[in-house]
Structure 1
Amino acid sequence: MRVLGIDPGLRLTGYACLEGEGERPAIVEAGVFRLSRGEGGPSGGTRSVSERLDELDRDFRSMLERLKPGMVAIESLFAHYRHPATAIVMGHARGVLLLAVRRAGVELAEYKPAMVKKSMTGDGSADKGRMQRAVQAYFGLAEAPSPPDVADAIAIALCAMRRRTIAGLTSGVR
């Protein structure tokens, strides 16, 4: 199965496509969508949120068509009490991504950040550096995925694959 993991954001959205069955899936492709705030609006100033969301929508739909995942796994909405506006901004990006997945007719799974971190490191509160090192070690990469959004997207896709495997193994158990 091919799973596309997404770490949503309005500035950087990490993505990773994993493929395979069993213990070690292969990384097909991983990277980030960089949604620039640079010039681009009708007034010539910085790009509006709606312009960046439109760019994310176009790029993501193109990726869905090109990679043809069987499932998209995305991080669920999270807000730290010190940064409540982050949830609002992330919510905009998630909405665009969720709608694109729905319209493409692809299976969708959502995972809380703590679940993804625990699945990858054994610690639901692991920091970004630890996540990067864990992904690097698990896949035997020469370097840690960078920026951290890429490592998070890889971990999200891997979490989805593992949970799908567990669900398949236990589906007949009562």
Structure 2
Amino acid sequence: MSRDAAKPQRRILGIDPGLNTTGYGVIEFDGMKPRLIEAGIVRSKAKASIESRLDEIYSGVLEVIEMHHPTTMALEQLFSHYERPRTAILMGHARGVICLAAAKCGIEVAHFEPTRVKKVMTGNGRASKSQMQLAVKAHLQLATVPEPPDVADALAIAICGHHLGQGSMMEKLTSM
């Protein structure tokens, strides 16, 4: 068997962006069957300058991309409550450097709203963090729930990147 024939059908990097903690999860799909490759967090120093923090996020995401060679990145769409516009602005900075890392590596980025990810994973667009962790555990057949919740969210985003990115049956069900 040639090396090319052994390549996975799809490898998706899911990212839950944050200025303090960015969760990531790399999942490989052979057809509809997912396999967890790696998951973790990229953390920035809370007391560092914004420039330094963004550099840490960019470098951390770039390292994950270079290590795992995903075919696609699934990234959580910007979401913020109106009473906290500063949070949205800071999250936008983090998303920007994450998108830059993907662009530098030639990786397509799919963007997903948090409520859509929750709806696909649990059937409830307002699911709690613990419900999301349990849904990811079940979907990936893990022994324990993924920790911290940022990792579970990133894995859920990667799973949605697979299901919603191909116009699959899941896409048809969630658009009803």
Please give the range of the TM-score, normalised by the shorter of the 2 chains: 0.7 to 0.9
Equivalent residues in 2 for 1:94-109, closer than 5 Å? 94-109=95-110
Equivalent residues in 2 for 1:124-163, closer than 5 Å? 124-163=125-164
CA distance in 1, matches of 2:66, 2:144: 29
Aligned to 1:15, the other structure's residue is in SS state strand
Shift of 1:14: 0.3
CA distance in 2, matches of 1:66, 1:103: 15
Counterpart check, 1:25 vs 2:63: no
Aligned to 1:146, the other structure's residue is in SS state coil
Q: Quote the residue 1:13 is aligned against.
A: 22
Shift of 1:135: 0.8
Is the Cα contact below 8 Å between 2:25 and 2:158 reproduced in 1? Answer: yes
Moved more, 76-85 or 52-61: 76-85
1:59-98 per-residue CA deviation (whole Å, 9 max, x = no partner) reads 2112111110000010011111233222111111000001
Q: Quote the residue 2:115 is aligned against.
A: 114
1:13-38 per-residue CA deviation (whole Å, 9 max, x = no partner) reads 0000000133321010001111122x
The two structures, once aligned, show a CA RMSD in angstroms of 1.8
CA distance in 1, matches of 2:28, 2:119: 21
CA distance in 1, matches of 2:31, 2:125: 23
Counterpart check, 1:92 vs 2:93: yes
Count of residues in correspondence between the two structures: 162
2:123 counterpart letter in structure 1: G
Q: Quote the residue 1:42 is aligned against.
A: none
Is the Cα contact below 8 Å between 2:120 and 2:170 reproduced in 1? Answer: no
Aligned to 2:110, the other structure's residue is in SS state strand
Structure 1 alignment gaps of length 5 or more: 38-45
Structure 2 alignment gaps of length 5 or more: 1-9, 172-176
Runs (4+) of structure 1 exceeding 6 A deviation are none
CA distance in 2, matches of 1:133, 1:84: 30
Shift of 1:136: 1.2
Q: Quote the residue 1:57 is aligned against.
A: 58
Aligned to 1:96, the other structure's residue is in SS state helix
What TM-score do you get using the length of structure 2 for normalisation?
0.86
CA distance in 2, matches of 1:90, 1:76: 10
Q: Quote the residue 1:4 is aligned against.
A: 13
Of all paired residues, the percent bearing the same amino acid is 47
**Residues 1:59 and 1:161: Cα distance change in structure 2 (over 3 Å):** same
CA distance in 1, matches of 2:119, 2:170: 20
Shift of 1:168: 9.7
Aligned to 1:151, the other structure's residue is in SS state helix
